[in-house]
Every structure is written in structure tokens, then in C-alpha cells.
Structure 1
Amino acid sequence: MLSPTEYDQLDGLGMATLVASGQLTAAELCAAAIARAEAVNPRINAIILKLFEQAQQRATSDLPAGPFGGVPFLLKDFGAQYAGVPHTGGSQALRHFVPTEDAELVRRWQAAGVNILGKTNTPEFALLAVTEPALYGPCRNPWSLGHTPGGSSGGAAAAVAAGITPLAGAGDGGGSIRIPAACCGLFGLKPSRGRVPTGPEQGEKWQGAAVEHVLTRSVRDSAAMLDATQGPDVGAPYFLPQPERPYLEEVGRPPGRLRLGFTLAHPLGRPLHPECATAVREAASLLESLGHDVEEVPLPFDGRAVATAFLMLYFGETGASIVSLAKVLGRPARPADVEPTTWLLGLLGRTYSAADFAAARHTWNEHARRMGLFHEKYDLLLTPTLATPPVRIGELQPKPFEQKLLKVVNTFGLGGVIRRSGLVEKLAEQNLEKTPYTQLANLTGQPAMSVPLHWTADGLPCGVQFIARLGAEDVLFRLAGQLEQAQPWFSKRPSLAS
């Protein structure tokens, strides 16, 4: 029988190696994961749909002998459709929706050998940087139960940080892999646009801004899973050059002498939390000690322009999601079908014109060119992942007067009035001021990672972000492997995981 301590000391590849050699069985791993879930999930609310019986059955059958053969795994309840299993997207409107086929990425994860134990908590339609859906209730950070694990892949991050599974599926449309990684002390890489498939139903998600991958404790698990899933599927609109060698091999390779520019400037001109500034400065010092060239640089992008372009995407895609609910509901969606904030975002999406959306879309290309120029001099941009450590549960929820305003606006369809008042931009900016660094890579399509190199005086994780040129995941994995060896974080665990 695998003890909890022994289970916690293994990453995914370590588990798979023991299964392949006959030292462990998939059933033993499954039992250990379920035991851990039963012990900690009631306190963190990370898993909202248990598939334990199915997992136990699969563990005793022939799972694919992939790189993660027999390894327990969790799916985010958004994007990663799993045939025959409810897929709610954190919304009561979809609580009865059951897809009939797997997403292509889910097929590839299963081909890699993982054993799916359940689905994880996410905000409605994966819209927020905190995970507090009305349907399932808030997910809590294993490092401090009063704080958020981030979003929108908060349930995935909380589950991995709590030691339920060594890795879990996640998605990133504005930082939703990197933000939870930073909040929960994990490694989180957002791949380049087009690196992993989005089929079979969609050629791209969120106009190409959203990409799916995994959250992990070890760098090598992330690399090996990207090896297993990368490459276009049928009808893919984007084609990137194949990597020179497997990403897993990059993790142990010397990164060479890299040129890094770091910035402490807040993209929206707000104060940066001292702990986040310390995290970047400490990372810069560590990088210099490893032989890299590091210098402070001005912010190489227009933070307000990026925020404005992202909000246009945010409003438009939320509006489209609400319209598409008619396919499931058999009627047009109503305000009561979704959360008030979601409905308001959808109303706003309908108040902007196609010309407005196209003009904002041009900003994406402008910033891709800006970053291209930046990377002519620097290999990587180093920033805080977040502008503040994890916030407390409920801190970003609408205040009572805002809730009343939302009710009036949604009841009378006053999206245009609210738009013209400027209130929405104010509220949106207040939320983006906590997470202003992550949206850039979604709009430009670049790969980016959050690395857990700092913990606050209160013991909360505080990640740093590295952004590379398009298609340069290999550079990120080489550096991440070096950082992991120089300043290990795998054994740094929340007390809840013990």
C-alpha cells in the first residue's frame, strides 16, 4: 500500500516509471489519489465532479502505456469536454449538458496514459481570475483557506497543490494557467498559440487567445505532457514549427547565457505590491548568479491598450457564449440562467460594434510586433505574474451597491447606458489591476510561464513570469529546469498536503 508521504514525493513521471517497472500498480495510485481527495477536498472544494468508480475500473484494465501510464489526473470543467460526463463550465445553465465526444486534447491526454479521477472547479465560463462560481461555491487555496487559488483554473491548481494529483488539465485565455500557478506555488506554462489542438469542434478558442495545457509541481511533467499533446489536429488554423527535440530533453539541457529584461512597472500605472517586486528582484539576482545577463527595462508594451483590447475580447466572447446557450437550453438564454456579472458582460458585448471589435483586434498584431522587436535584444521578459499575492475569498466579488446596480441593469437591459457611463471600465480595471501582466502573451500568442520562486512573509506563494518569443517553449523549459535545480520548490508543500 502506498503511504500518503510516499505518494506526495512522486511527480507524474515518477509514478509512471514505478508502474512501468511493476513496483506500483495503477490501482494503487488510484486508491492513493482518491484517499487524498477524500481527506482534503471537503476543505478546498477543488473537485466538483467525482469519477472515482470509473477511475478504479480503468486502473484495473489496460490503460495506454504512454509517458503517464496509470497516473491520476483531473480535467478542468471548462474546455476539456469528456464524452458522457457533465460539462457545466461552472454555470447552472449547462448543468445538464453532457458532450457526446471527447475534445482532441482530452484524447491526447488519455493516450498519454492518465487515469481521469474527476473534474475541477472553475468560475462561470472561466471568466475570472478567482474561482468562486455560484453553482459550486468558492475553491480555496491549500496554502491558506481564506485566500483564492486564482482562476480560472483554480480548482486544478488547488488539487495539485494539495497533492491530490501530480498534474491537472488547465486553460489560459488571459492568465488562467499562470495566475493559479502563482497563487498555489506551482509551475504553469501557457504554450504558444497553435502548439496544442483545440478541436474537434473549434479551430481556435477566444480568437486564438486561449490555449490549454496542464498545471504541475515539476517542470519535467509539464514538458513531457506537452510532448504528448503538441501538434495540430485536423483543420487547425495555426501551424508552428515542430520542436527540434522533445521538450522533456530540454529540461536538463543548459540554457546557455540568456539575455533577460525585467520590469517592475505596473501596466496600469498602479502600485506594485512589495512582495511581488521582491519576487522579481530575487529572481533577477538568481539569474545573474547563474550567469545570465539581466537588466531592468521600461515596460515594453502599452498596458492600457492591452487591457482595452483584452476587455473587448472578454465582452465579445462572453456575449457569444450566452448566445450559444440556446443550443443547449432550446431557447434564448435569460438573465436567471447565468450569474449577474456574466449577464452584464454579455450585454456589454452586444453594445459594441464589429468595427470596435476589429479595431481592438488590430492591437494584438501591433503588440506582437512590439514584442518581436523586444526579442531582437532580449531572449525573455521577466515580470511579476501578479501585481499582488493571492487575494482573500470574496474580495473581488461585487459590493452590495454594485449587486443592486447589476440587478437593475440586467432587468432592463441597460448595457449601453452602463457602457457610456464608464463604470464598467472602472470596475474592470479595478479587477485587472491585480492581474495586469498575463494578458499580453494571450493576445500576442507567445509562450509564457509562471515559476514559484518566492513565498511571502505570510507563507503565500508569489510567482514570477517569463515570456519568450513565439514558438520558444524550449527556451522556457531549459531555464525552468535550471531554476528548479538551483532553487527547488517541489518539496515546499502547504500543511494541508501533509
Structure 2
Amino acid sequence: MAAIDEYDRFDGLGLAELVRRGEVLPAELAEAAILRVRLRDPALNAVILPMFEQARAAAAAPLPDGPFRGVPMLLKDLIATVQGVPTACGCRALRVLPAPVDSELVRRLRVAGVVLLGKTNTPEFGLVPYTEPEAFGATRNPWSLAHSPGGSSGGSAAAVAARMVPLASGGDGGGSIRIPASCCGLFGLKVSRGRTPTGPLFGEFWHGFASEHVLTRSVRDSAAMLDVLAGADVGAPYASPAAPPSFLDESRLDPPRLRIAFTARPMFGAPDVPVHEDCRRALADAASLLAELGHELVEAAPSVDPEACARAFVVVLAAETRATIEQVAQATGVPAHRRDFEPATWALGLLGRATPASEYASASNLLQAAARAVGNFFVEHHALLTPTLARPPAPIGALQPRAPDRRLMALLNPLGAGWAYRAGGMVEQLARETFAYMPYTPLFNVTGQPAMSVPLHWNAEGLPVGVQIAGRFGDEALLLRLAGQLERARPWAGRAPPLAGVGAGPAEDRS
């Protein structure tokens, strides 16, 4: 590649086409990506485990002739494992423990021809919607270094928005692809439960709430990568309905006229959560655009109890967190101790240990009933439009536990007093406070439906504010058609944060 600035102009498929035409070598793309990480990441702290030598070796060797041959990519440091490379999951206890195998997702990425460049920052075990783990430090938003890129795929989102790589992997168990996509001005699709693999080390991850996919600048990259990743792996506990012949082809087609519901009413947590005017404006703007494109817009929302759903979600998550802590102890051979985990993680694990199995089962049943109600709503509607978040990107540190909570954890954690957290209303507090920022995304992790954050709006401060569109279970194809239509009507991939210009010329999109 003759000039350093050429790399920034292309999405993943655009770079792969350059390789296919012989205009650039995979090794040149790898060096361009490595240079950008070195120049841009010091301000962001997105890449916490570089794999530059492995990337150089892979780019110099013959690569499979897949749709992303030679394209540099980063992996979220959580579910996706690379044999011999640590998967720290944002946890100090796992920083040096090498993974025993490539995950199935990584295996499929290699077959597609990507060059894996490194691993990106995530909060401890992906538990929160911001990326500020004690083990690795805070990741910052390329649009404003004073703000968070969201979480838990915040490192991946920051790297893609800063044009270090055109795409990066993410996982979504409560909004962790859609939240950072909204905060960083990217396209982020959470796929249907069972659509992409989590094996061989994981099966039902977070009670089936979590799924793996990517964050991208263009819809077509997300669609093409879904063609690569879709399909249950051996022994998977779930499988989505049959995929179309090509998600990429679907994304190029306009959808038929759709009946699209829209609402700003919070669907998870306290029903009276204030919704910021920027988010309301983004919703209204998206609804207007969809109407202009010929769709029928109806103000409506599923009939669910947002507070009960949030409480049940916390109960499940607390139990899952306790199980994770015990799995870390088993993997490392070191008994679990609070010094190896963040105070909030340890406290949630104590709550999980103090929660009766019957309460876990009741929470599961409640969430399944909510999923039935939401499914019935989608019989009458093709899609549901909401804000992605209730507020614009949060300042760094704004979502961290408050001082009184930190003092309480300092008191109770050494005592192992999960019963005190339970008796003191920790479930209700977390249900109320955690989802005040994200009252729209977790519902579709519960139901297993596909949902996407689409970057159609920037506020007066220049920060991205996404909108969420959810679809029927198993119907990513319709969502990708709709996303492609929106992208063609109002292109966004050419918008770049100031940091994306570091070490390169002006960004001109060629996605």
C-alpha cells in the first residue's frame, strides 16, 4: 500500500477486495494496523494484549481464500479464546493463564482469512456497561477521551471507531455489543440465541443470554461476518432457525413495507427512569426516517413487568458470577479469594452464593414467561424501535460504584456476608441502578431475539447516540435488510472521530 492513509478508507470487505486484486499484501495490512494501534491506542487503552508477532507470521504465510482474507481484526478478551494466549476476561486472576484451545469462533475466523492482531479490553467478566477494569485500566471513547466507549465490548468498539481495525469481535449478554456500538458510532448486531458458537469451552453462557458477533463500521461487514460465523457448533445447547443462503446478500436488499413499533418507555428496571432528550431525539429522528422509507410506524411496546424482569436478571447473573468465580479457582488451581477479583464482582458472587436454588429457578421461569409475552408482541409487529440507551455516552468513572457502596463492600466482603447483601436489598438496588443507563437492551438477551444498534444520530457535543431495532427470533436477515436500507438512506461510515486521523490522512470511506 503506497500511502499510510489508504488503510483507513476501507471497511473489512473493502480491504479484502484490495488483497484479492493484488493491490496490497496481507502483510502490508497487518503493518498498517499495527502502526495504528501503536499510534492511537495509548490515548484509548483499547488493546490490552497485542499479538503482533503472531499476526505478522499469519499474514506472511498462505491464508485461506475466505471473504476476509488478509483483513486485520481484534478479539474481545472474554469468550473468544486463542490457544496459548491468555483470556483474562478483565480479571487479574487470569492475566497469565493461557487458553487450552482456539474457540470455535476463532477457528471460523481463521478459515475466513482474517489476521488476528490482539485482544481488547473488557470489564471483569463482562458484567457492566462500561470498560474500566482494575486489572487493565479504563478504555476511553475516541469521540471524547473524557467519556466511556460503553461495555462490555468497549475495547473492541473503541478500536474500530478509531480505525485501528475495520471490525472486532464482541459478546452481548445484556447489551454488550449494542451499548458500545451506540457510544462509538458503530453498527452492532446482537444475533439470535444459538446463531453463533460459544464452544468448546462454553455452552449456555449466562443462562443463554450471551451471544458472540462483531462490531463494524458498515452493515455489509457485519452481514458477511455472520455468513462466516453462523451455525451451531458440536454439542451446543441451542440452535437458531435455519439461516438464509447469504446474510450479505440479504443486507443488499430493501425490506418490504414493515410494521414497526416504537417506544421510549423503559422496558427493564424502574419504569420511571428518565430518558435523556438526546436519546428521545435520536428515536424520533429514526422513526421519521423509517416512515419516509415507507414503513408503518406504530407507538407500542411489549407488555412486560420491567422491574420484575430486572430483579430476575440480577438473580441469574449473581448465580452465574458465583459459578464463574469458582471456575476461575478451578482453572488456576488457586482457591478463590476476594483479592483476586474486583469488590463489586466479589459482592455479586457472594449474593449468588446466598441465593436459594429455588429463587434461581423462579427467576428463570419469570424471564421465560416474559419472553413468551414479547414473542406474542412480535407476531403483530415486524420490529421494535427504541433508544439504545437512556443517556448519551457516560463520562469515565460516572457508572462506577458510589462511595457508600464501596464502603459497604469493604465492610461486608471480608466477612463473606452474602446474606447481608441479600437481606439489605442488593437485588432490588442493582435492578434499579444498573438498568437506569440501559433499560432497553437486556430484554432481547432474555428473549434471545436479534437486536441491533444503528448509528443515525450525533448530539450537539459530537457524541454518537444510537437507536436499537429488535426483530423476530431467528430473523437477522430482515434486520440486516432494514439496516442496509437505513445506511443507504443516511450513510454514517464516513464519520470519524478526531483520533482516527492520528497517523493517517483524511478519512474517506470506501465501504
Q: Which TM-score band applies after superposition, normalised by the shorter structure?
A: over 0.9
- Hey, what's the Cα distance between the residues in 1 that align with 2:356 and 2:11? 48
Contact 1:2/1:32, CA 8 A, preserved across alignment: no
- Where do residues 360-371 of structure 1 align in structure 2 (5 Å cutoff)? 360-371=363-374
Q: Which residue of 2 aligns with 1:415?
A: 418
1:406 aligned to 399, 404, 409, which one?
Answer: 409
- Hey, what's the Cα distance between the residues in 1 that align with 2:198 and 2:427? 31
Q: Which moved more, 1:245-254 or 1:198-207?
A: 198-207
SS in 2 for 1:116: strand
Contact 1:307/1:436, CA 8 A, preserved across alignment: no
Cα 1:298/1:239, change in 2 over 3 Å: closer
Alpha-carbon deviation of 1:423? 4.3
SS in 2 for 1:90: coil
Contact 1:218/1:490, CA 8 A, preserved across alignment: yes
Q: Which residue of 2 aligns with 1:162?
A: 162
Q: Which residue of 2 aligns with 1:355?
A: 358
Q: Which residue of 2 aligns with 1:488?
A: 491
Q: Which residue of 1 aligns with 2:107?
A: 107
Structure 1: state its 5+ residue gaps.
Answer: none
Contact 2:97/2:332, CA 8 A, preserved across alignment: no
Alpha-carbon deviation of 1:421? 1.4
Q: Which residue of 2 aligns with 1:22?
A: 22
SS in 2 for 1:147: coil
Alpha-carbon deviation of 1:262? 0.2
2:344 aligned to 341, 346, 350, which one?
Answer: 341
Amino acid at match of 1:127: L
Contact 1:224/1:247, CA 8 A, preserved across alignment: yes
2:332 aligned to 326, 329, 332, which one?
Answer: 329
Amino acid at match of 1:444: T
Q: Which residue of 2 aligns with 1:48?
A: 48
SS in 2 for 1:170: strand
String of CA shifts for 1:373-412, please: whole Å, max 9, x gaps. Answer: 1112110011110000010001111223321211111011
RMSD: 1.2
Check if 1:279 corresponds to 2:282.
yes
Aligned length: 498
Alpha-carbon deviation of 1:239? 2.5
Amino acid at match of 1:145: L
- Where do residues 95-494 of structure 1 align in structure 2 (5 Å cutoff)? 95-267=95-267, 268=270, 269-494=272-497
Contact 2:314/2:430, CA 8 A, preserved across alignment: no
TM-score w.r.t. the length of structure 1 is 0.98
Alpha-carbon deviation of 1:53? 1.5
- Hey, what's the Cα distance between the residues in 1 that align with 2:277 and 2:305? 22
Q: Which residue of 2 aligns with 1:38?
A: 38
Amino acid at match of 1:14: G
Structure 2: state its 5+ residue gaps.
Answer: 502-511
SS in 1 for 2:458: coil
String of CA shifts for 1:450-474, please: whole Å, max 9, x gaps. Answer: 0001111111100000111100000
Q: Which moved more, 1:278-287 or 1:93-102?
A: 93-102
- Hey, what's the Cα distance between the residues in 2 that align with 1:470 and 1:51? 36
String of CA shifts for 1:285-340, please: whole Å, max 9, x gaps. Answer: 00000000002114543211221121112111111011112212313201101010
Cα 1:257/1:161, change in 2 over 3 Å: same
TM-score w.r.t. the length of structure 2 is 0.96
Q: Which moved more, 1:271-280 or 1:364-373?
A: 364-373
- Hey, what's the Cα distance between the residues in 2 that align with 1:300 and 1:164? 42
SS in 2 for 1:255: coil
Contact 1:262/1:296, CA 8 A, preserved across alignment: yes
SS in 1 for 2:30: helix
SS in 2 for 1:462: strand
Percent sequence identity over aligned pairs = 54
Check if 1:71 corresponds to 2:74.
no
- Hey, what's the Cα distance between the residues in 2 that align with 1:322 and 1:2? 49
- Hey, what's the Cα distance between the residues in 2 that align with 1:428 and 1:145? 29
Contact 1:263/1:299, CA 8 A, preserved across alignment: no
Contact 2:75/2:170, CA 8 A, preserved across alignment: yes
Amino acid at match of 1:344: A
SS in 1 for 2:192: coil
Alpha-carbon deviation of 1:424? 5.0
- Hey, what's the Cα distance between the residues in 1 that align with 2:355 and 2:426? 15
